[in-house]
Amino acid sequence: MYKNKSILITGGTGSFGKNFVSYLLKNNFFNKIVIFSRDELKQYDMKKFFKNHPKLRFFIGDVRDLDRLKMALDKIDYVVHAAALKQVDTGEYNPFEFIKTNIMGAQNIITASFNSNVKKIIALSTDKASSPINLYGATKLCSDKLFCSANVMFSDKQTIFSVIRYGNVMLSRGSVIPLFKNIRNNEYPITDEKMTRFNISMNEAIDLVMWSITNSIGGEIIVPKISSYRILDLVKVFSNKPKIKIIGIRKGEKIHEEMISAEEARNCIEVDGKYIITLNEPSRYLKKIKNKFKFKKFDKKYFKSNENNFLTPKELLRGINNEAKKFIF
Q: Write the CATH number for 142.
A: 3.40.50.720
Q: Assess whether pLDDT exceeds 70 at residue 302.
A: no
- Within a domain: 325: no
Task: Quote the pLDDT of residue 47.
Answer: 97
- Within a domain: 215: yes
Instruction: Taking residues 55-79, report their average pLDDT.
Output: 97
- Taking phi over 0 as left and psi of -120 to 50 as alpha, with beta for the rest, 202 belongs to alpha
- Within a domain: 56: yes
- Range list of H helices, 126-270: 135-153, 176-181, 202-215, 231-238
Instruction: Taking residues 211-237, report their average pLDDT.
Output: 94
Q: Is 96 helix (H, G, I), strand (E, B) or coil?
A: helix
- Within a domain: 262: yes
Task: Quote the pLDDT of residue 282.
Answer: 62
pLDDT band per the 50, 70, 90 thresholds, residue 306:
very high
Task: Quote the pLDDT of residue 76.
Answer: 97
Task: Quote the pLDDT of residue 177.
Answer: 92
Q: In this predicted model, what pLDDT tens digit does every residue of 38-60 receive, in sequence order?
A: 999 999 999 999 999 999 999 99
Q: Is the dihedral of CA 203, 207, 208, 212 positive or negative?
A: positive
- Within a domain: 321: no
Instruction: Taking residues 3-8, report their average pLDDT.
Output: 94
CA angle (92, 138, 208) in 5-degree steps: 115
Q: Is the dihedral of CA 47, 23, 227, 147 positive or negative?
A: positive
Task: Quote the pLDDT of residue 260.
Answer: 93
Task: Quote the pLDDT of residue 291.
Answer: 63
- Within a domain: 189: no
- Within a domain: 329: no
Q: Is 167 helix (H, G, I), strand (E, B) or coil?
A: coil
Q: What is the mean pLDDT of the chain?
A: 92
Task: Quote the pLDDT of residue 266.
Answer: 84
Q: In this predicted model, what pLDDT tens digit does every residue of 255-277 receive, in sequence order?
A: 999 999 988 888 888 888 899 99
- Within a domain: 129: yes
Task: Quote the pLDDT of residue 157.
Answer: 73
**Which residue range is the domain that position 102 belongs to?**
6-166+201-224+258-300
Contact 12, 21 (CB under 8 A): yes
Q: CB atoms < 10 A from the CB of 187, how many? A: 11
Q: What are phi and psi of 278, to 5 degrees?
A: -100, 150
Q: Assess whether pLDDT exceeds 70 at residue 284.
A: no
**Residues noted as catalytic:** 128
Q: What are phi and psi of 227, to 5 degrees?
A: -85, 175
Distance from C-alpha of 88 to C-alpha of 252, rounded to nearest angstrom? 6
Find the range with the poorest average confidence among 23-37, 211-225, 267-281, 297-311. 297-311
Q: In this predicted model, what pLDDT tens digit does every residue of 132-183 receive, in sequence order?
A: 999 999 999 999 999 999 988 876 678 999 999 999 999 888 789 999 999 9
Q: Assess whether pLDDT exceeds 80 at residue 289.
A: no
Q: Is 314 helix (H, G, I), strand (E, B) or coil?
A: helix
Instruction: Taking residues 198-226, report their average pLDDT.
Output: 94
pLDDT band per the 50, 70, 90 thresholds, residue 23:
very high
Looking at mean pLDDT, say which of 92-96, 217-221, 275-279 comes out highest.
92-96
Task: Quote the pLDDT of residue 278.
Answer: 85
Give me the number of domains the chain comprises.
1
